[in-house]
């Protein structure tokens, strides 16, 4: 029975995203919610100027509708589901405001870094308060060892670092057609499996809803993209995957399963440090996916390669948790 519910969740979220996209894409285009392309980026990207952005609305709506329907119809609307939706919708709202200011109000920088951080911190603290009310453990476990470390009050800064860090890391990965949608589907799929294995059905259902939503979005976001998810989608997905890792008590596994997001972030950090200290760039451009583009790889080759790497990280994460 529960297996069928999981499959229904996946199919329903996929269907909602696929049906919503042809409605929202022309709507976003009429409102002139078009993407501005960085002039210093790959020249091939200039033709993408004007492609509708803020498509993350489609993803968030699909996740929200599917999760509420499935949880109320077949399970129960638990506090776990409420907290996961709080983070996803909350971070999505921060991303929406950022997109809206950049695209509609024509302020290229969107929200200031302090404003964005303030929104992320508020949602992270609310999420932590909810966790404490659930009496969740404040210990973290080292994968494949069974060894755990009790953090106590230090668990709060860990939660904040994970949520804010993951949302920004996922945001950096959203730079090529289908890149984030594909790697995101793989990472959330891994957590859906792990949550199911740990008998955390609500979390597994939520993860499956995200997988279906991003795959449905990918139908229109694959190269050549008809719509971009924008910060609305990337911040929502980043917050969601960190919240899932925390809820399943697989905090450290997030670094492994989200390995692509970690590498993309490290490439930016390394590039900045190298340029500021040595006056030289390590990569032709960061995040890393642009380096490979400027090295002569086609956009589709970069995306598929990163999908494959993401799959390897996901398999490693599942192996460490389930079989060791």
Nearest Cα to Cα of residue 194 among 302, 32, 318: 318
Residue 109 CA to its chain's centroid (Å): 21
Give the three-class secondary structure for 100: helix
Instruction: Check whether 231 is labelled as a binding-site residue.
Output: yes
- How is residue 75 written in tokens? 């399970």
Rounded to the nearest 5 percent, the helix, strand and coil shares of the chain are: 75, 0, 25
Q: How far apart (Å, rounded) are the C-alpha atoms in residues 220 and 25? A: 9
Q: How far apart (Å, rounded) are the C-alpha atoms in residues 137 and 140? A: 8
Cβ neighbourhood burial of 125 (10 Å; 0-12, 13-18, 19+):
middle
Confirm if 209 and 66 have CB atoms less than 8 A apart: yes
Q: DSSP string of 120-145? A: HHHHHHHHHHHHHHTT---EEE-TTT
Q: DSSP string of 24-79? A: HHHHHHHTT-BPPPPTTS-GGGGGGTT-B--THHHHHHHHHHHHHHHHHHTS---H
Which residues participate in the annotated binding site for Mg(2+)? 171, 231
Which residues participate in the annotated binding site? 171, 231
């Amino acid at each position: 029975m529960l297996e069928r519910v999981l499959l229904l969740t996946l199919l329903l979220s996929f269907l909602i995203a696929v049906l919503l996209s042809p409605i929202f894409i022309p709507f976003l285009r009429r409102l002139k919610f078009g993407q501005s392309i960085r002039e210093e980026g790959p020249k091939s990207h200039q033709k993408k100027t004007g492609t509708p952005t803020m498509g993350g609305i489609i993803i968030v709506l699909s996740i929200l509708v599917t999760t509420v329907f499935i949880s109320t119809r077949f399970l129960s609307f638990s506090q776990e589901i409420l907290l996961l939706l709080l983070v996803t919708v909350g971070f999505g709202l921060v991303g929406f405001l950022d997109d809206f200011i950049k695209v509609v109000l024509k302020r290229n920088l969107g929200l200031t870094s302090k404003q964005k951080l303030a929104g992320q911190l508020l949602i992270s603290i609310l999420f932590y308060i909810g966790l404490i009310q659930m009496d969740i453990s404040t210990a973290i476990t080292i994968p494949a060892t069974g060894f755990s470390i009790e953090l106590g009050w230090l668990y709060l800064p860990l939660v904040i670092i994970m949520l804010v860090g993951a949302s920004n890391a996922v945001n950096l990965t959203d730079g090529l057609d289908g890149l984030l949608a594909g790697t995101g589907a793989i990472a959330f799929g891994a957590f859906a499996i792990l949550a199911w294995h740990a008998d955390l059905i609500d979390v597994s259902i939520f993860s499956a809803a995200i997988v279906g939503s991003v795959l449905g979005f990918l139908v229109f976001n694959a190269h050549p993209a008809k719509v971009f998810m924008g910060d609305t989608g990337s911040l929502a997905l980043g917050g969601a995957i960190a919240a899932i890792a925390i809820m399943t008590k697989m905090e450290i596994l997030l670094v492994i399963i989200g390995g692509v997001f970690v590498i993309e972030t490290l490439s930016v950090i390394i590039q900045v440090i190298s340029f500021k200290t040595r006056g030289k760039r390590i990569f032709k451009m960061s995040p890393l996916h642009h380096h490979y583009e400027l090295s002569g790889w086609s956009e589709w080759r970069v995306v598929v390669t990163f999908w494959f790497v993401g799959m390897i990280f996901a398999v490693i994460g599942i192996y460490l948790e389930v079989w060791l």
